[in-house]
Amino acid sequence: MITAAVHEREHYLNASYGIKSWLLTKDHKRIALLYLATITLFFFLGGSFATLIRIELLTPTGGLVSSETYNKLFTMHGVAMIFFFLIPSIPATLGNFFLPIMIGARDLAFPKLNLLSWYLLVIGGLFSLFAMLAGGVDTGWTFYTPYSTTYSNSYVIATALGIFIAGFSSILTGLNFIVTVHRMRAPGMTWFRLPLFVWANYATSLIQVLGTPVIAVTILLLFCERVFHIGIFDPALGGDPVLFQHLFWFYSHPAVYIMVLPAMGVISELISVYSRKPVFGYKFIAFSSVAIAVLGFLVWGHHLFVSGQSLYAGLVFSFLSYFVAIPSSIKVFNWTATLYKGSISYATPMLYAFGFIGLFTIGGLTGLFVAALGIDVHVTDTYFVVAHFHYIMVGGTIMAYLGGMHYYWPKMTGRMYPEAWAKLSALVIFLGFNLTFFPQFLLGYLGMPRRYHVYPDEFQVLHVLSTAGASVLAVGYLMPMIYFVWSLRFGQMAPANPWGATGLEWKTASPPPVHNFDEAPIVTHEAYDYSTVIPEVIEVG
Amino acid sequence: MTGHIDSIKTYLAVLLALLSLTGLTTWVAYQPLGAFSVVAALGIATVKMLLVSLFFMHLRHSNQLTKLVVLGGLMWLGILLVLTLSDFATRGWTGVPGK
Amino acid sequence: MADLTSHEAQASSHEAHAAVHEAHAETLDLREQFNTAEQQKDASTLGMWLFLITEIMFFGGMFACYTVYRRTFPEVFAVASSSLNAVLGAINTGVLLLSSFTMVMAVRAGQLGQRNMIILLLILTLFFGGVFLGVKAIEWKEKFDEHHIPGQAAFHLEGLPPDQQGHAQLFFSLYFAMTGLHALHMVIGVGILSFLIWQAKKGTYSATYFTPVDVAGLYWHFVDVIWIFLFPLLYLIDRHLGK
Amino acid sequence: MGSLPLFPEQASTIAPEVDHLLYFLLAVATFFTLLIFGAIFYFAVRYRRRSENELPPVVHGGMTLEILWTVIPFGLTMVMFTWGAAVFFDESRPPDDAMQIYAVGKQWMWKLEHLEGQREINELHIPLGRAVRLTMTSEDVIHSFFVPAFRTKQDVVPGRYTTTWFKPTKPGRYHLFCAEYCGTKHSGMIGWVYVMEPQDYQTWLSGGATEGSLAENGQKLFTQLACDNCHKADNQGRCPTLVNVFGSTVQLTGGGTVKADEAYIRESILSPQAKIVKGYEPVMPTFQGLVTEEQVLQLVEYVRSLGPKPAAGQAPGSQALGNQAPGNQAPASKAPAGKKSAPGAAPAKQ
């Protein structure tokens, strides 16, 4: 992979070679790269489904694919993107790689479990892939009963099983992180010296551990109902399909925070490094991560305002939903305030961070719309919701993920990426994203329902705009893929600390040695104390 | 934890208590207590759970963090049950079917 | 939080990694990512407790279904519950409690470094676990014979009119899902116990290292706790209405 | 391609309420978006890095600021919650004088039934200015009844009834969508709602050939299924009389009570043993599998027609309606006024 100069220093990439050294590795850094390869595959798989969806929607009459195929496309887009890309994205790659290094540990607390988690994701992914290749699944990623249990004639069982297995990957990763943060911190690394990325991943892990088992058992019940017709959610036996929705969203709403909290952690790092200032309101950002994780569990019923849920439950869930808006807004304000009087660099990761704040702000503010009962009745299950959650999950999570990938690429691979191309890609993605999804807000308020294969003519112009944006976006996503691979061979060698950053991960070499540090670190400073770092950077040049 | 080694007597006493409570809960179920029957059943089960976790699982001697983890888990179970019931228990209050 | 911080800072504020690590490099039991045996044990214990929390939520999903449906169909649940064999259920509860007792005694033997006692008590635990599963199998067999299997056309529960057979199926769906998953956990537990016995025979465990026994004990007791709730919730609903 | 609408039509009393809330939210959202974007842009330019080794001053977080940007957004969100909840209450509670229509969703069509006996598929004709209350159920999977121009949406769930209502304020033809994914031809489960001038609606009503009103059909079915053998009008049967039951509070064996609404009548037909009326034996057989959802609705409507005569509008039969509709038109057509429109537009006349 990396040019093997004969007298190169030993690091985690060249310490051993061969397929076996990767597939049986217990090194969290190598496992992170295994995850990276896996989720990249699923990202492009999900992305190609999205491309087909957008091309199909160019015309209102549904000429490209049949309605069955279309339904399978959006289902598999959702399944691939949510369960096999977004949920593992930042925690399992950047988190896996950097969380132990950031706290000064040699590895996670349970390295074998970590490897097992990856295998579980792969096995789950294979089940889902099998379902996709064998004929697909058409229930929507939400698997609402009784359609999924009784009426769908597609590969529901294989897909459900895949998600069930992948769920354990998520649970075990979360468990591993929590124990690691509690038990493996280096001397002097107190809770309030932890980088905010660690706080964010810690909060994420809480959700993974507390939420994921519920979706697991729900999917298991769905599985039993489909196979044995035992009817836990079957209205014919007196069961209640809305109960399924409760259990499903008990996990799936917090799952949104599994996707976006680590993204927020990345942004906290980026904003600080590239304005060379400690994060404004460190404790507020740290605690708001935990607050989001906790409050995120109290709001799931806002997906059910028109489902037949009682009116009073709707009131409770709407009320609680607004509480989760507060910690999110605290974060945005604190990031913005961090820029004040900073020394702001326009490096690529910072451009992604700006993009994140902008898009997350729009996504978050439109969240206030859909949490308002009166408006949600109109916009739920329309493109308004589709646009809203893509602003959070794509505009938020993927922007941060790419920002983080650029930021950490030199550390992970020892190579710099080409700066000009990277800046261009950030710009293309930002513009493409907005062109794709902003028209969908308008479509949604106009009443365009989601998951529609054919649609009334008057929606076409906005759909065409959205598709145009999607093609720009696709180019934007392919660019980093290409130049990252290119940089592995041709990129400049990266110094240990190319950005003048403060974390322990920048005190060790690029790429890090097998046990992360040549010398065990002892922490003596707060996070983000740039006065200790900047002179060194200047020497490095 | 290694430091605390409970006596066999303690464990035996706990076992006896657990077995008697099992008998009690079975007996109570046949008594005409009406709605109180569920309360009794769950109350006894909770006491048994406490006995098992405090003694057999050494929660008595565990550190604060472990206790916090257990409390947190139970709290989350509570969230799941209570908020789910907030729907099912208030259905029909408006007198409009489905609201 | 402040409380935790001080406690854990202490847990990790041992001497610098490398030195300590080298000192322990000879000890087989200490994995390379840890500095001290205490840190390793703490991590394992915390990991197991966290895992048990996920198990609470896992069963919690089914408890939520149970709560909702019992609220909706209280009479049907009472009738269906009365069709279960409460005596066998109570006996099984006792068996499981006994197994918990032998398990905790095994852990105690570990604390005291009594290697042979560990093996003996683990085998006893395994035995009681097997008895529990056997009794469970007998109960399930009865259900098959009585046509109390949900999802089958032949399903019929005596004492209920036709329009409530569906609701009764809901009860039995939950019964099989809950006891089935509980039994699956027992089976996994039996596997773990067998592994521990094998390891104990090899002499792996001593007074300084018996974490696997300890942690497996937590798991076993937890499975016991689940059953402590399943027993009254499934077997003992409004028995007084029955006869 | 052609037209490019950017805002949906407002064609019900609720629509302007929802839109006003939207304007408020848009104003707040725009303000904060501009604030954040502006601040980022300004800071990014003003404090751009001028030399590689510059070290900016440390700015410590300020408690005042933190409190400020916690409390202000919180206050705003509480306004949003309260306002949203108020609109939701209006969306959820049909006025008493609403005209009853039944809807059944199935893969992949909407079946709508008027009290007068007209049955429509994927089309709904309604008069201008009358509140319409839809009682809905599904024969298979979950669907959702969505009319964007009315800003109403309600899932239609198998095995139970859900309700939605709207009061059209503008004649025209509006999209009816299924908004909950329901399978292969989900996007084909669409139709039109025609809002007609009351006279035109009367003409339409009398135009279609019907086989009697919904209640009459229910009565026929009631006889066919031999329900009348036991449920006798004079309360002499083995089962309780159904006269004046609808809307009343029923005493149950075992002490409880239940309000006799559509859901209760439906349950009593399909699962008669679930709630036994006090003083009666559980002798009624279930009709599960013997009657379709549509037939259940006919029976429900028949029982409703036996109930106490409602103040206005709910009286079955087109005569009553014919007398009323013109009278109602005047106040209703200029009634986008909002929340209290329901009682205001309901001059209780017979």
Every domain of chain B and the residues it spans: 1-62, 64-99
Q: Take residue A113 and report the two structure tokens written for it.
A: 């479990």
CB contact residues (below 8 A), chain D span 8-67, against chain B: none
Alpha helices in D111-259 (DSSP H): 198-207, 214-224
Task: Label residue B92 exposed, middle or buried (CB < 10 Å: 0-12, 13-18, 19+).
Answer: middle
Is D222 part of any domain? Answer: yes
Q: Which residues of D touch B97 (CB under 8 A)?
A: 135, 160-163, 261-263
Set of chain B residues whose Cβ sits within 8 Å of the Cβ of A311: 90, 93-94, 99
Chain B, residues 36-65, CB within 8 A of chain C, namely: 37, 41-42, 44-45, 48-49, 52-53, 55-57, 62-65
Which residue ranges does chain C devote to CATH 1.20.120.80? 37-242
CB under 8 Å to A142, separation ≥6 — which residues?
A78, A248, A252, D181
Average pLDDT of the residues in A435-453: 96
pLDDT for position A230: 85
Find out whether D260 and D275 touch, Cβ atoms under 8 Å: no
- In this structure, what token pair is assigned to residue D310? 């409602």
Which residue of chain A comes nearest to C163, CA vs CA?
Answer: A237
- Put simply, the answer to whether B95 touches D259 (Cβ < 8 Å) is yes
Is D72 contained in some domain? yes
CB contact under 8 A, B96 and D259: no
Number of domains chain D contains: 2
Q: Letter for the amino acid at A335?
A: W
Q: What is the mean pLDDT of residues B12-17?
A: 96
Q: For residue D126, which of D165, D154, D177, D87 has the smallest C-alpha distance? A: D165
Q: CB C164 to CB D272 under 8 A?
A: no
Number of independent structural domains in chain A? 1
- Given a cut of 50, whether residue C59 has pLDDT beyond it is yes
pLDDT score, position D279: 82
pLDDT, tens only, A36-92: 999 999 999 999 999 999 999 999 998 889 999 999 999 999 999 999 999 999 999
The answer to whether residue D248 sits within a structural domain is yes
**Higher-confidence residue: C18 or A433?**
A433
Q: Which residue of B has its CA nearest to C219?
A: B57
CATH number for the domain whose boundaries are C37-242: 1.20.120.80
- Pick the residue from chain A with its C-alpha nearest to B74: A210
Q: How far does the CA of residue B13 sit from the closest CA of chain D (Å)? A: 43
Partners of residue A184 in chain B, C-beta under 8 Å: none
pLDDT value of residue A536: 53
- What's this model's pTM, rounded to 2 decimal places? 0.91
Q: How far apart are CA A296 and CA A117, in angstroms?
A: 24
Q: Which residues 278-297 of chain D have a CB within 8 Å of chain C?
A: 282, 285-286, 288
Q: Name which of A106, A224, A243 is nearest C32 (Cβ-Cβ).
A: A106
Whether residue D2 lies inside any domain: the answer is no
3-state class (DSSP) for residue D73: helix
Residue A357's contacts (CB-CB under 8 Å, 6 or more residues apart) are A267, A332, A335, A336, D36, D40
Greatest pairwise CA separation for chain A in angstroms: 74
Residues of chain A numbered 176-235 and touching chain D (CB < 8 Å):
235
Q: What is the mean pLDDT of chain B?
A: 92
**With an 8 Å Cβ cutoff, are B97 and D92 in contact?**
no
Q: Quick check: is D180 in a domain?
A: no
Q: Is residue D39 a contact partner of residue A334, using CB atoms and an 8 Å limit?
A: no
- Residue-level pLDDT at D332: 35
Q: List per-residue pLDDT tens for chain D, 350 residues long.
A: 457 888 999 999 999 999 999 999 999 999 999 999 999 999 999 999 998 888 898 887 788 999 999 999 999 999 999 999 999 999 999 999 999 999 999 999 999 999 988 889 999 999 999 999 999 999 999 999 999 999 999 999 999 999 999 999 999 999 999 999 999 999 999 999 999 999 999 999 887 767 788 888 888 888 888 888 888 877 777 888 888 888 888 888 877 888 888 888 888 888 888 888 888 888 888 888 888 888 888 888 888 888 886 544 444 433 333 333 333 333 333 333 333 333 333 333 33
Asked if the structure places residue D265 within a domain, the reply is: yes
State the average pLDDT over residues C39-44: 91
β-pair type (D143-147, D132-138) = unpaired
Is D148 domain-assigned? no
User: Which residues from B are below 8 Å from D246, CB to CB?
Assistant: none
Which chain A residue is nearest to residue D189, measuring alpha carbons?
A452
Q: In whole numbers, what is the pLDDT of chain A averaged over residues?
A: 94
Chain D interface includes A528 (CB < 8 A):
no
Q: What is the pLDDT of residue D209?
A: 66
Is C218's CB within 8 Å of B73's CB? no
Chains with at least 3 CB pairs less than 8 angstroms from chain D: A, B, C
**C90–B81: do the CB atoms touch at under 8 Å?**
no
What is the extent of the structural domain holding A387?
Answer: 19-540
Which chain D residues have a beta carbon less than 8 Å from that of C164? 271, 273-274
- Quote the domain boundaries for residue D227: 214-306
Running DSSP on this structure, what letter comes out for residue A508?
S
- Residue-wise pLDDT tens digits, A245-293: 999 999 999 999 999 999 999 999 999 999 999 999 999 999 999 999 9
In angstroms, the Cα distances linking A20 to A24, A34, A503 are 6, 12, 32
Interval C68-110: pLDDT, tens: 999 999 989 999 999 999 999 999 999 999 999 999 999 999 9
Give D271 to chain C, closest Cα distance, Å. Answer: 5
Q: Is the CB of B68 inside 8 Å of chain C's CB atoms?
A: yes
Is the CB of residue D201 less than 8 Å from the CB of residue D325?
Answer: yes
